[in-house]
Structure formats: C-alpha cells, structure tokens
Amino acid sequence: MKITQIMLAKGFGGAERHFVDLSLVLADKGYRVQAICHNRFSKQIELARHPNITVQTIPVFATWDPYARYKLKQLITRFQPQVIHAHLARGAFIGGKVANALGIPAVVNLHNYIDLKYYRDIDIFIPATEDQKNYLLANGIPADQITHMPHFSLLPALAAQPLPKNRPLCFVTLGRLVKKKGFDVLLRAFRRYLDDARAGQLIIGGDGGELEALKQLTAELKLNANVTFPGWVEDVAGFLQQGDVFVLPSLDEPFGIVVLEAMASGKPIISTRTQGPITILDEHTAYFAGIGDVATLAQAMLSVHAEPQVALQKAQAATNLYQSTYSAEAVVPKVEAIYQHLTRHP
C-alpha cells in the first residue's frame, strides 16, 4: 500500500516527531511512504535514509499558499497513494483540499485543539485523548469520522532502576524553550527543592526563544552550579538516561510525546496536571503538581527524594503502561486498520 504523510511545519516538536516516527514504522512494515514536508524541515535526511520512504519538499508560506497546493497536487498525483495522512493545520488544510480534488481519503492526527475551518476536507480524525474527541463531537464532527487513538514512541521500554543512594538526584526535562512549557516555574521549584534537600542537579534540554531569559533566571536564583542547558537534543533516550527523575512543568500540554519517552526510560515522572499527561498518567504512575504552581512542583520533587521505593514502583508501572498502550507495537496496528477501512470503503 502507498501512503502519503504530510507535515508542512518547519519546526520540530511532538507533532513533527509523530510524523517522522509513523513514517518510519510504516516503511519498516513494507508500506511505500511518500513523506512530503516543508523544505526547511530538519528531519528530511533521517527519513530519506529508509529505502521505502520517498521524501519530497515544498516551500510553504501560509495555509492559503496557492503554489504549495499546486505543487502538493503534482507530487501526490505522481505517487498515487491510497491514503493521505496529514499532520497539523497547514498540512490538513492544503492536503485535505488536494485529497478531495483527487478523490483520495484523508486522515489527520490531532496534536492540539484545532480550528476546524482548516479541516473541512478530512475523512477521519484521530484525536489523541478523549477530551480532544469530545471537542470534535461538540463542534459537529460525526462520531463515525472519529477514531480515538494515542500517539506512540519508538523508544524501547527500559526497566525502572532504583534511585541513587550515593549522590544527589539529577532531574531532567526536555522541550522547546517557550513560555508555555513552564521551565521558569521549574527553576523556581528547583530552588525550593535545593533549599530543603541541600543538593541536586537539573538538566534542561532543548532550544527556543526563552533560552536567554531562563539562563538569566538561573543566575538570579543562584543556580548556575546546579543547572545546565545542553541545547537541542537529538538522542532523546540517551539524554533521559543522564538523569534520575523526569519533570514536565508545562502550562499547556494537549498530549505530550515526551511523556511517553519518559515512561519508556524507566524514570520516575513528575508532571503538571495538563490535559495530555492526566490522560496518560495517574497517581500510580507519576507524581503531579498544579499548573504553574511552584510550591506543588517543589513538593513533588521532594516527595521523590523522600520516598525512593514509591518512586521506583511508579516508574515501573509507567513503563509497563507504555509497553501495553503507547508503544509502536500497541498503536500502529490501529492506524493500519484505519487505512484498510478507508481503502475497502472509499
């Protein structure tokens, strides 16, 4: 079967990671995949290495871009896929228009709470959470066009390991360095943690517009000796193994593929009660803090420090849940079932 995957954003976050991982898994399974992406997309080479993936790029200036639609239609017409699978609003809008014009069924993954005006030509919506599904239903999308399905990660599941007894804890976090990720809240919470527990390290992986402000706050809080910013992370699995505990301080997280990566790593997880994480995790698999709440985030960090056996149990439960529900082996067959349904019932 031929599948066209479309990602027309030029940055790289959870949605872009899902596009890359899904393309790679489908190619491994023998599908012929056409991966159409923005001409500045950073993972073109990674995709192009696979013999079953044809990478093609187009410049895209906006959702309304007529040249992008024309070029996309040309590429898809030549490839002749059975299904078009788009990601994010720009891909869904332009890809949906082309799919409709060519009579090819179109699928889209939801990565946030979308403006449906960009999704008028989509046949099947795949929301990652029940809340996103309810959002679609409330906005008039028929139930038979919705298939709730979580995102997944390609990382192998690792057994949880006891927290170290002979050195201070090292906390790790990862994401785009933007306001909504809450890294400033984490720095303030970590300051409180150190004031109580006296020792510890924090590694903040990622890059973005808030980097300099976060470094300035680190200096103001007198944390320069305890906090490091290694920059953009390519090897997520290796990065997570540098720490003992993963922290997600987001102010807004519709799903959070990084949560799945943390679950796979076997590390105890601390998360804010944002929509995605509270759907994926519970009190048996993670510690929680209030959104934007320095005090409860610091308390969660102190709880991990104070109860290492409980932290180990939560980490192992999270890893088990990842294997059963959020691994590629658990999720991708459900995507394939959608493709099969659409090609049997065009």
297 inside domain: yes
pLDDT reported for residue 182: 98
Beta-bridged to residue 35, according to DSSP, are: 5, 55
Cα-flanking dihedrals φ and ψ of residue 9, to 5°? -90, 150
Asked if 183 and 255 sit in the same domain, the reply is yes
Q: For residue 14, what pLDDT band results from cuts at 50, 70 and 90?
A: confident
Average pLDDT over residues 128-153: 94
7 within 8 A of 19, measured Cβ to Cβ: yes
156 occurs within a structural domain = no
Q: Structural domain tally of the chain?
A: 2
| Domain contains 40 | yes
Report phi then psi at 230, rounded to 5: -75, -5
pLDDT surpasses 60 at 114: yes
Model confidence at 12, pLDDT cuts 50, 70, 90, reads: confident
Whole-angstrom Cα distance, residue 92 to residue 153?
22
- Whether residues 288 and 335 share a domain: the answer is no
Residue 182 lies in a domain: yes
pLDDT at 345 over 70: no
Q: What is the C-alpha separation between 136 and 142, in angstroms, rounded?
A: 8
Is 161 domain-assigned?
no
Read off the pTM: 0.88
CA atoms within 13 A on the CB side of 309: 0
Cβ-based neighbour number of residue 94 at 10 Å:
29
- Dihedral sign computed on CA atoms, order 247, 207, 184, 110: negative
- On whether both 290 and 334 belong to a single domain, the answer is no
Chain center to CA of 279? 14
Provide CB contacts within 8 A for 95, sequence distance 6+: 4, 6, 8, 72, 84, 86, 106
**Domain containing 298 — which CATH number?**
3.40.50.2000
Average pLDDT over residues 111-138: 92
- Say if residue 322 is in the same domain as residue 183: yes
Structure tokens at 293: 């709440």
- Mark whether 179 and 125 lie in a shared domain: no
Question: How far from the centroid of its chain's Cα atoms is residue 210's Cα?
Answer: 20
Does residue 49 share a domain with residue 11? yes
Domain match, 200 and 119 both: no
Same domain, 66 and 178: no
pLDDT for position 61? 85
At 21, the amino acid letter reads D
Measured at the CA of 117, the angle between CA 113 and CA 123, to 5 degrees, comes to 85
Same domain, 214 and 280: yes
**Is the pLDDT assigned to residue 346 strictly greater than 60?**
no
What is the distance of C-alpha 194 from the center of its chain? 30
The domain of 40 spans 2-151+328-344
Within-domain flag for 51: yes
pLDDT cut 90: percent of the chain above it: 90
Residue 251: count of CB within 10 angstroms of its CB? 16
pLDDT of residue 260 exceeding 90: yes
Mean pLDDT across the stretch 120-137?
A: 94
- Nearest 5°: phi and psi at 333? -55, -30
**Same domain as 137, residue 9:** yes
| Residue 44 is assigned to a structural domain of this protein | yes
Residue 124 scores a pLDDT above 60: yes
For residues 192 and 282, state if they share a domain.
yes
Q: Are residues 71 and 104 in the same domain?
A: yes
- Of the CA atoms within 13 Å of residue 276, those in its CB half-sphere come to 26
Question: Per-residue pLDDT tens for 143-165?
Answer: 999 999 999 999 999 999 999 99
Inside any domain, residue 334:
yes
